[in-house]
Amino acid sequence: MNVETIGIWAGATWNALNDANGALNIKGLKKATKLKEKEVYAAIGWLAREGKVNVNETETEVEVNLI
């Protein structure tokens, strides 16, 4: 895993969120992007660092929203 690869995953994740009108949970992101869970979390970290997503955690799931 390298920075370029994580950037590609972040792009796929952003596109999936954009196509879903801005919000998906982790399961939805995995399905939409065909990424593994750890890859989705790496992508979310990238997007969060860039200020492009909000991450909301409940007792049962994590939801990611575009800003």
The reply to whether the predicted model has a pTM over 0.85 is: yes
pLDDT band of residue 22 (cuts 50, 70, 90) is confident
Q: What is the mean pLDDT of residues 36-65?
A: 97
Strand segments, DSSP code E, in the chain are 23-25, 53-57, 62-66
Q: What is the mean pLDDT of residues 35-50?
A: 98
> CA 21, CA 6: separation in Å to the nearest integer?
23
Domain boundaries, the chain: 3-54
Q: Is 28 helix (H, G, I), strand (E, B) or coil?
A: helix
